[in-house]
Amino acid sequence: MNAPLAGIKVIDWTHVLAGPACAYYLGQLGAEVIKVERPGRGDAMRHRGGSDQAQASAGISTAFQTQGAGKRYLAVDVADPDGHEVFTRLLCTADVLVENHRPATLERLNLTERHTRATNPRLIHCAMTGYGRDNPMSNAPAYDVNIQAISGLMALTGTSDTGPIRTGAPIIDYATGLTGALGVMSALMARSQNGEGSFVDVSMLETAFTLMSSTITDFRLTGTPPQPRGNAANSRSPSAGTFPCWEGYISLGVNEDAQFHALAHAIGQAAWLRNPQFATPQSRDAHREALVEKLSAILLTKSAADWEDILLSAGVPCARVRTLADALDLPPAVDRGFATRGPAGFTGLPFNVDTAVSNRGPSDMGTDSRSVLNELGYDEADISKLMKKRIVG
């Protein structure tokens, strides 16, 4: 089947997680992706991340592999004049450049969006940085954990007793990757209408803010500072949140009056619906401590697995807390194949599209250097000379 981005060439000049993920998502939509790395060094993520130290030592860590499949690999020293020429030729053939270098680095290399789009006016230049352009922090380095801290997200996670807690996975990196891919798709749509390239300025901080949109709106409109709520639901409903059971934990999403009615009947407490303290949403909110105490005591009488079966059968929004291994065995995960539907069986996009997916796995640095340079017009003598000088690897 025809992929949405068939015929689109993406230059992936990125490192770590967010940038490579953005290019990976574009590749899953059918784009040809060429990853550019520095010879002898490569993407730093090749050597860190994941629990398999042997793979990391070999330059193919699991964290690198996650967004490394489906790409071709070119190793070239862009800082060298001859390497810069290789990169410039590559830009002339490309539709999209994805990079996550600091603006000062781009200025030094004459590869800012001003330079790249002068080279190729139809180019979509997607820049991914911690804080975006045109502000005093534009050149500040940032990783996922830094953005979680500075954005206010970490201060909302945990409780007053635990203090700030980072989320268990690098969600800002991958959300930023999706943000970048959305920006590139939007720019490609605009180019199809006006024939012109454009600059996509992606900020990790703004991505984090987007993930907290309703929290930010509440704060801006009411002036009430948000507080860490632990496992309590953002809805602030006393019958929503995560509760311990006889075995395991159950997460309840009981926010609406009809849902509370279903919950009360399912747990054998229909009398609550006639109790003035619990009969209406307003009375439940006024007596939340009493309701939480009674509900918690009842949930402790069965396992989370038993409660999940009972409550889902009654139409109550709930889920027991699972490990990752358990979650990946869920029917939606297995039947839809998220963990294996990407290139070479890696994780896929969070939606299904009727497209063919590359089956190419992650490669060693420079695997495709020779073939890419051939396509750019370099003959074998030129390539051998560049490789001998270690400008190309």
In a domain, 337, yes or no: no
Please give the chain's pLDDT, 393 residues, in tens.
589 999 999 999 999 999 999 999 999 999 999 999 999 989 999 999 888 999 999 999 999 999 999 999 999 999 999 999 999 999 999 999 999 999 999 999 999 999 999 999 999 999 999 999 999 999 999 999 999 999 999 999 999 899 999 999 999 999 999 999 999 999 999 999 999 999 999 999 999 999 999 999 999 999 999 999 888 888 789 999 999 999 999 999 999 999 999 999 999 999 999 999 999 999 999 999 999 999 999 999 999 999 999 999 999 999 999 999 999 999 999 999 999 999 999 999 999 887 777 889 999 999 999 999 999 999 999 999 999 999 999
pLDDT given for residue 201 in this prediction: 98
Q: Give the residue carrying structure tokens 């009654």.
A: 314
* Domain co-membership, 291 together with 382: no
What is the pTM assigned to this prediction?
A: 0.95
pLDDT given for residue 352 in this prediction: 86
* Domain co-membership, 16 together with 136: yes
* Domain co-membership, 55 together with 177: yes
Domain boundary (332, 357, 373) is at 332
Report the alpha-carbon distance of residue 236 to residue 172 in Å, rounded. 25
Beta-bridge partner residues of 11: 34, 97
Q: DSSP string covering 207-230, please?
A: HHHHHTHHHHHHHHHH-PPP---T
* Domain co-membership, 89 together with 135: yes
In a domain, 340, yes or no: no
Structure tokens at 106: 């781009």
- What 3-state class would DSSP assign to 264? helix
* Domain co-membership, 189 together with 41: yes
- The CATH number of the domain holding residue 300 is 3.30.1540.10
* Domain co-membership, 43 together with 129: yes
* Domain co-membership, 313 together with 265: yes
Q: Which amino acid is at 269?
A: Q
Structure tokens at 189: 């749509």
Domain housing 304: 240-332
* Domain co-membership, 204 together with 247: no
In a domain, 341, yes or no: no
In a domain, 228, yes or no: no
Task: For residue range 173-194, list pLDDT tens digits in order.
Answer: 999 999 999 999 999 999 999 9
Q: For residue 35, what is the enclosing H or E element?
A: strand 32-37
In a domain, 226, yes or no: no
Q: For residue 125, what is the enclosing H or E element?
A: strand 124-129
Nearest CA to 43 among 9, 10, 66?
Answer: 66
Beta-bridge partner residues of 37: 75
pLDDT given for residue 51 in this prediction: 87
**CB atoms near residue 150 (< 10 Å):** 18
In a domain, 338, yes or no: no
Beta-bridge partner residues of 247: 303
Contacts of 144-150 with C-beta under 8 Å, sequence gap 24+, read 144/17, 144/18, 144/170, 144/171, 144/172, 144/173, 144/204, 145/170, 147/172, 147/204, 147/205, 147/207, 147/208, 148/172, 148/208, 150/205
* Domain co-membership, 358 together with 328: no
pLDDT given for residue 86 in this prediction: 98
- What 3-state class would DSSP assign to 135? coil
| Overall number of domains in the chain | 2
pLDDT given for residue 233 in this prediction: 82
Residues 100, 129 contacting (CB under 8 angstroms): yes
- The CATH number of the domain holding residue 357 is 3.40.50.10540
CA pseudo-torsion sign 114, 117, 121, 127: negative
* Domain co-membership, 363 together with 309: no
Report the alpha-carbon distance of residue 198 to residue 123 in Å, rounded. 7
Helices (H) and strands (E) in the chain, counts: 19, 9
In a domain, 150, yes or no: yes
Q: Using CB atoms within 10 Å of the CB of residue 1, give its burial: 0 to 12 exposed, 13 to 18 middle, 19+ buried.
A: exposed
In a domain, 309, yes or no: yes
CA atoms within 13 A on the CB side of 141: 3
Domain boundary (332, 354, 377) is at 332
* Domain co-membership, 92 together with 170: yes
* Domain co-membership, 59 together with 188: yes
Nearest CA to 202 among 100, 96, 54?
Answer: 100
pLDDT given for residue 244 in this prediction: 97
pLDDT given for residue 1 in this prediction: 59
Report the alpha-carbon distance of residue 30 to residue 303 in Å, rounded. 45
